[in-house]
Amino acid sequence: MASTLVFLVRHAKAADRYDWTGGDRDRPLIDKGRRQADRLAAGLRREQPVLVAASPWLRCRQTAAPLAAAMGLQVELDDRLGYDAPDLAAWVRTAAAEHPGRAVVGVSHGDLIPIYLLQAGLVHGFPNFRTGSLFRLEVVRGNVDRVELVDRKELKRQVGDS
């Protein structure tokens, strides 16, 4: 049985939370973050994802948008990827089950992804997980077989500074 590739992406660089005067859910990407989002799109486009989902929070939607546009998809907003009803385990299971043998992308937050991976026993210790980075999961028959951290520096090396 072919594995489903699940990419869990930490949103790109957003406005500083201490300088931002609006609500946290509306904190946008900054220029560096928009470049990171474009780089993520360039790096993940070759995986041909059939689903691009995101936390409803603005910075996650903005991170997902370039990839969704490149693939001719809409960003599917999912509360399980955000802070309103976090449940990354359920999102991974559902996305993998609904798209067997394909690639799917979920854009979430820098604490929720490592917490899920730690609770599932997929990583040991809290990883150095920077904005614009991702985890690549291989899911076979509903089980995560392999987890790999792809740092934004590696993405930059792979696709150049687009």
Residue length of the chain: 162
Query: Could you report the per-residue pLDDT of 35-78, keeping only the tens digit for each?
Result: 999 999 999 999 999 999 999 999 999 999 999 999 999 999 99
Domain that holds residue 90: 4-159
CA dist., res. 132 & res. 85, Å (int): 22
Q: What is the CATH number of the domain that holds 56?
A: 3.40.50.1240
Burial pattern 131-158, b for ≥16 Cβ within 10 A else e, equals bbbbbbbbbeeeebeebebbebeebbee
DSSP state, 22?
Answer: S
* pLDDT at 162 exceeding the cut of 60: no
Query: Could you report the per-residue pLDDT of 99-138, keeping only the tens digit for each?
Result: 999 999 999 999 999 999 999 999 988 888 999 999 999 9
Residue holding tokens 């150049």? 160
Domain count, the chain: 1
CA dist., res. 55 & res. 161, Å (int): 26
CA dist., res. 74 & res. 68, Å (int): 6
CA dist., res. 10 & res. 148, Å (int): 14
Among residues 153, 131, 140, the alpha carbon closest in space to that of 43 is found at 153
Query: Could you report the per-residue pLDDT of 136-145, keeping only the tens digit for each?
Result: 999 999 899 9
Instruction: Quickly count: other Cβ atoms within 10 Å of residue 110's Cβ.
Output: 13
Query: Are the CB atoms for 14 and 29 separated by under 8 Å?
Result: yes
